[in-house]
Amino acid sequence: MKVILGLSGGVDSSVALKVLKDEGYDVEAMFMRNWDSATNNDILGNPDIDDDVCPQEKDYQDAKMVADELGIKLNRIDFIEEYWDTVFTYFLNEYKKGRTPNPDIMCNKYIKFNAFLKHASDLGADYIAMGHYARVRHDETKSYLLRGVDNNKDQTYFLCQISQAQLRKSLFPIGHLTKPEVRQIARDNNLYTANKKDSTGICFIGERNFKDFLKNYLPSQPGNMVTMDGKIVGTHDGLMYYTIGQRKGLGIGGSNEFTGEAWFVCGKDLEKNELIVGQGHDSQYLISNNCIASDCNWITDKPIAGKKYTAKFRYRQADNDITLEYIDDNKIKVYYDGVRAVTPGQAVVVYDGEICMGGAIIDEVYFDNERRKY
């Protein structure tokens, strides 16, 4: 049985490749190149944008070293235009709306488990594999996406928009391992990436300053920071640079009018271009108990309205008890006890025990019947 694994040049996919080989699969690897500054800036019509290239070439060289160490063929493919059309354009459009998108979810949906899967199938693969911390159970007629064993690294949140057909063709070789176990396997086998630092953030941003990167593509519109009652307490650089519940980077000075508690982003008024801020980590305005979400994707079985499930509203968040109802086939209303900083643009991902059922993208956030200005 032939399996083609997405080899990123990191330790997780490196160990996944080793596991597949040891399990006796006919395995190849494929390195995806999804971002090229020059090409993308030409598409945008701004060839002179000062945008450093994401260090993908170094990642490719690392992937090549691991593939050579294991005696496995490494293919290379460019998905630059596909990434622009389905992930980066989505990323920009969400920020234009004042929302906080999660491009990793769309990258999995459209690139890793769609474009990659199609290309791997053309190369004769029966399955594709990724180094995600997730598991899959393939039954005779259905496949189930299961949480990774390592609760701290579980990545099913980012897989909530993949389809049953995509999951049916997928393997997750390290989902049964913890991160320390993965590192140890890499070291025991002297893999080139054994001590490589984990990547953080989005590939096309990498370690660069987020504001500097984003202003290349979207013009910033500075405005006022205001309290809930409309008092101006500072200025912001552009609403797109802030997310609900954020503390760092607000730069609000001390004042005798207010307590010494920290300030947090509590909302956005797009019409007035105002950033709404408040004091206290658990400011009441940051708490909601229901939301509306759309673009529903149910991987195996559709959740039952009114039944108790759990959900995450952001990655690595603790499970929250929920129930849901259907507004239509593509939109749900989710009910929960008070949860902090539920954010439009992020995903609500539904779980039935260890099974990830899928999720939807948060559109509106409420406390009882009061809509939050998120």
Contacts of 284 (CB under 8 A, 6+ apart): 367
Amino acid at 301: D
Tokens 């108990």 locate to 289
Contacts of 41 (CB under 8 A, 6+ apart): 47, 48, 49, 51
Residues 223, 228, 229: CA angle, nearest 5 degrees: 100
Tokens read off for 356: 């990830």
Catalytic site positions: 107, 203
Of the candidates 307, 65, 287, the one whose C-alpha atom is nearest the C-alpha of residue 196 is: 65
Neighbour order of strands in the sheet with 263-269: 232-236, 223-226, 274-279, 263-269
Of the candidates 346, 355, 329, 366, the one whose C-alpha atom is nearest the C-alpha of residue 167 is: 355
